[in-house]
C-alpha cells in the first residue's frame, strides 16, 4: 500500500508574503516553493490480530454516505510504537472517509501512523510552539474517496485565539454522492484548554472568528458544504460554556451542531486518566446549513481495551454520519 503525507506550513518567505494556498497536485520540484512536501512509503497491512480487543470495532464506512470524524490522539504517540499500532488499527477498523486529528507531536510519527492505515493518506501542520514542542492538527482521509484540492493554515498569526493554528482543506469527492456536493471544505482545530476565565475568553474569541470566516466563505459560495471539527475544549455543561459556542447556535444562521443534544443525554468524548468520574464532551463537529449530520457516534473503546487511556488517548473519536440530502448542492 502506498501512502503519501501532505505537509503544509510556512517553508519560505515567498509563501509568507503571498499567503497563497498550496495545491496538492504540484510536483516534487515545486514542493519547497509551495510549502508542500510529499512523503511516500510502503506499509504491510495484510493482518490484524484476531485476539485484538479492537476486533469488535464497527466499520462505519458505506459507499452511499459520508462519514467524518474528529479525534484528539493525546500527545501522539503517547506510548511510542504501541500508540502507532493501536491508533492505526482503530482508524483502519472504523473505516470512515475523513478524520481530523489533534495533538500530533511530530511529522515523523504522523507519517508512521498514516503508513500503517490501509488506503489512507494524510496532511499535517508544520506549526510548533518551540524548537522541541508541538501539538499539530491535520487530516487523515480515504484516498479512494477523497482528493485534496488545496489546504493551508488559517489564523496563524493570532496566538491569543489560536495557540495551535487551525487547518482548512478543500476536498473533492472522487465518486460524487447523489445529493452531496462534489467539493467540500473541512477545518480542523484544537482550541485553548483549561477552565480559567482567560482561557475561556480565548475560546470565545476563536469561535467568533471561525464563524465569521465560515460566513465569508458562504457569502461567495451560498451552498458551500463546510465542516468545522476538532477539540473545542468546551462542553455544554453550563451557561458559560454555551456562551463559547453562541456564534454557532444562532438559529437564523442555520448551522448544525448535534453535540448539544447528545451532551444533555450524558454523552462524552473526554475520559480523564486521573479522575474516573470526570467525563465530558469536548470534541465536536459543526456543519454548515447545506448539510445535516444525521447521526453522531462516540465509540467507547476504553471499555473493550483497558489500556486505551494509558497507551492511546484520553479522548474518544467522534463520528458524524452525513446521509445524502436534496438540500446539498451538486457542486460549488
Residue 69 phi/psi, 5-degree rounding, is -140, 160
Taking Cα atoms as reference points, which of 157, 156, 222, 230 lies closest to residue 193?
A: 230
**Domain-located, residue 45:** no
Task: With cut-offs at 50, 70 and 90, classify the pLDDT of residue 18.
Answer: very low
At 31 the pLDDT is 34
Any domain includes 41:
no
Is residue 44 one of the residues assigned to a domain? no
Peptide bond into 77 cis (omega under 30): yes
Hunting for cell 448539510 — which residue is that? 291
Question: Is the Cβ–Cβ distance between 213 and 161 less than 8 Å?
Answer: no
Distances (CA, A) of 283 to 11, 31, 48, 69, 82: 30, 33, 28, 10, 24
Residue 331 pLDDT > 80: no
pLDDT category of residue 130 using cuts at 50, 70 and 90 = low
Query: What are the tens digits of pLDDT across the range 45-66?
Result: 555 566 788 877 789 998 889 9
Report H helices in the chain.
Answer: 13-18, 31-34, 81-94, 107-115, 197-220, 239-244, 246-249, 259-264, 308-311
Whole-angstrom distance, CA of residue 259 vs CA of residue 286:
9
What's the pTM value of the predicted model, to 2 decimals?
A: 0.84
Answer yes or no: is 205 within a domain: yes
- Please report whether residue 60 resides in a domain: no
Output 15 or 320, whichever has higher pLDDT: 320
- Please check the confidence at residue 188 and state whether its pLDDT lies above 60: yes
Range of the domain at 250: 65-322
pLDDT tens-digit map of 150-172: 999 999 899 999 999 999 999 99
Q: What is the pLDDT of residues 66-122, one digit of tens each?
A: 999 999 999 999 888 888 999 999 999 999 999 999 999 988 999 999 999 989 999
Q: Is the pLDDT of residue 261 over 60?
A: yes
What CATH number is attached to the domain comprising 318?
3.60.10.10
Q: For residue range 293-313, list pLDDT tens digits in order.
A: 999 999 999 998 989 998 999
Residue 26 has pLDDT above 50, yes or no: no
State how far the Cα of 26 lies from the Cα of 19, in Å rounded to an integer: 17
Task: Provide the mean pLDDT of the chain.
Answer: 82
Can you read off the three cell numbers belonging to residue 241? 460554556
Flag whether 32 is in a domain.
Answer: no
Q: Does residue 241 sit within a domain?
A: yes
In a domain, 207, yes or no: yes
Query: What pLDDT band is residue 210 in, cutting at 50, 70 and 90?
Result: very high
Indicate if the pLDDT at residue 28 is higher than 80.
no
- Total domains present in the chain: 1
Give the residue from 271, 276, 167 showing the smallest Cα distance to 227. 167
> Cα–chain-centroid distance for residue 8?
15
Residue that wins the pLDDT comparison between 113 and 8: 113
User: What CA–CA distance (Å, rounded) separates 96 from 61?
Assistant: 5
Q: State residue 49's pLDDT score.
A: 62
Amino acid at each position: 500500500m502506498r501512502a503519501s503525507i501532505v505537509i503544509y506550513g510556512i517553508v519560505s518567505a515567498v509563501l509568507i508574503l503571498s499567503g497563497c494556498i498550496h495545491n496538492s497536485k504540484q510536483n516534487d520540484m515545486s514542493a519547497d516553493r509551495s510549502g508542500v512536501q510529499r512523503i511516500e512509503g510502503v506499509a504491510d497491512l495484510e493482518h490484524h490480530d484476531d485476539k485484538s480487543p479492537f476486533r469488535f470495532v464497527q466499520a462505519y464506512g458505506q459507499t452511499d454516505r459520508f462519514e467524518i470524524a474528529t479525534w484528539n490522539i493525546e500527545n501522539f504517540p503517547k506510548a511510542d510504537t504501541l500508540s502507532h499500532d493501536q491508533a492505526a488499527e482503530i482508524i483502519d477498523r472504523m473505516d470512515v472517509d475523513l478524520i481530523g486529528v489533534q495533538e500530533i507531536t511530530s511529522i515523523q510519527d504522523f507519517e508512521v501512523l498514516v503508513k500503517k492505515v490501509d488506503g489512507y493518506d494524510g496532511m499535517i501542520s508544520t506549526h510548533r510552539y518551540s524548537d522541541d514542542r508541538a501539538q499539530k492538527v491535520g487530516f487523515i482521509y480515504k484516498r479512494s474517496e477523497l482528493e485534496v484540492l488545496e489546504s493551508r493554515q488559517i489564523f496563524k498569526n493570532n496566538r491569543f485565539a489560536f495557540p495551535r493554528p487551525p487547518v482548512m482543506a478543500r476536498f473533492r469527492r472522487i465518486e460524487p454522492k447523489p445529493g452531496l456536493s462534489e467539493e467540500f471544505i473541512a477545518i480542523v482545530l484544537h482550541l485553548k484548554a483549561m477552565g480559567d476565565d482567560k482561557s475561556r475568553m480565548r475560546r470565545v474569541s476563536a469561535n467568533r472568528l471561525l464563524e465569521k470566516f465560515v460566513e465569508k466563505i458562504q457569502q461567495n459560495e451560498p451552498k458551500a458544504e463546510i465542516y468545522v471539527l476538532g477539540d473545542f475544549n468546551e462542553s455544554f455543561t453550563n451557561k458559560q460554556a454555551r456562551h463559547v459556542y453562541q456564534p454557532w447556535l444562532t438559529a437564523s444562521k442555520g448551522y448544525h451542531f448535534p453535540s448539544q443534544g447528545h451532551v444533555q443525554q450524558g454523552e462524552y468524548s473526554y475520559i480523564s486518566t486521573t479522575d474516573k468520574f470526570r467525563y465530558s464532551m469536548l470534541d465536536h463537529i459543526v456543519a454548515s446549513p447545506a448539510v445535516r449530520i444525521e447521526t453522531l457516534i462516540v465509540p467507547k473503546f476504553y471499555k473493550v481495551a483497558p489500556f486505551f487511556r494509558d497507551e492511546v488517548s484520553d479522548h474518544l473519536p467522534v463520528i458524524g454520519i452525513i446521509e445524502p440530502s436534496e438540500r446539498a448542492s451538486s457542486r460549488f
